[in-house]
Structure formats: structure tokens, C-alpha cells
């Protein structure tokens, strides 16, 4: 059902969904995904199961655009997006000034967060390696 909804939502964009992925660390780190090192791509026409959804874009405008498509796909299939459970976690480059994005879904503003638990890992807006090491050490002790 979820794959059908995604295909319907993006039907005018591309006939399939392109997924970029890494098989080694840094899940959903947009800077690592832009680098070509160890990044693989797959073109998916049918997804069998989906429990959660994470949209990963480079700009605030791209995220808002993706949310519009996603919300339209949900509406077409009678699905509701829980704005209470949906959050935004921007990861700008360390040299960039942080500006909290204003992403809206069906007129509701999504909350910006500093950390997010996803697939057994805690993702953070701070992408510095020393911060990641400190987090792992604190979890281990």
C-alpha cells in the first residue's frame, strides 16, 4: 500500500523512485550521500513494506516540495500524516549558519528537533565526528 502511495504521489516526477544508500555508517547524513564514496543507488519500482518514512533532501525548498507530494499521495489513498509524530532535523554543513526550516504539512508546522531515533540509532543535527564519538562513549558506559 505504501509503495503504491509513493508511486502515485511522484507519478509526474519520475516513473520510479531513486534511492541512494550507504552500507557503512552515517545513515541519513546528507553530506555523506552527496559524496560519491561508498554510495550506491537503486531504482525501485515496487516497495513491499514500509514502517517509517524518512525524507532526505538538500534544501528547505526541496523538503517542502517533497512534503507537498507526500501529503498529496497520502490524501489520494485516505491516509493521514500525524503532524504530532512528524519532525524535521536539518543537517547543514558545519560552516553554514543554522536557520531552522519552516516545513508545513497540510497547514501544520512541523517541529524542528536536534536528535532523532531511527532504526536503532540516534541521529543528530551536529555532524562533527568528536560529537559522534562522545555520544557512542556515553552509550557504552
CA 79 vs CA 74, 109, 128: distances in Å: 5, 18, 37
* Residue 18 confidence class, pLDDT cut points 50, 70, 90: low
Q: How confident is the model at residue 49 (pLDDT cuts 50, 70, 90)?
A: very low
Domain range list for the chain: 2-140
pLDDT tens digits, residue range 111-124? 988 887 766 667 77
Q: Which residues contact 112 (CB under 8 A, 6 or more apart)?
A: 87, 88, 89, 90, 100, 101
C-alpha cell at 107: 497547514
77 in helix, strand or coil?
coil
- For residue 108, pLDDT over 50 is answered with yes
Amino acid at each position: 500500500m505504501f509503495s503504491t502511495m509513493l508511486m502515485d504521489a511522484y507519478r509526474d516526477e519520475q516513473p520510479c523512485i531513486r534511492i541512494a544508500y550507504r552500507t557503512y555508517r552515517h545513515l541519513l547524513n546528507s553530506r555523506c550521500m552527496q559524496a560519491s564514496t561508498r554510495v550506491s543507488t537503486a531504482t525501485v519500482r515496487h516497495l513491499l513494506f514500509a514502517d517509517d518514512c524518512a525524507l532526505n533532501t538538500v534544501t528547505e525548498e526541496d523538503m517542502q516540495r517533497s512534503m507537498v507530494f507526500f501529503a498529496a499521495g497520502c490524501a489520494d489513498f485516505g491516509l493521514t500524516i500525524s503532524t504530532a509524530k512528524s519532525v524535521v532535523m536539518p543537517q547543514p554543513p558545519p560552516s553554514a549558519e543554522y536557520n531552522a526550516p519552516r516545513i508545513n504539512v497540510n497547514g501544520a508546522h512541523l517541529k524542528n528537533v536536534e536528535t532523532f531515533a531511527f532504526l536503532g540509532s540516534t541521529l543528530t543535527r551536529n555532524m562533527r565526528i568528536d560529537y559522534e564519538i562522545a555520544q557512542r562513549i556515553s552509550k557504552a558506559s
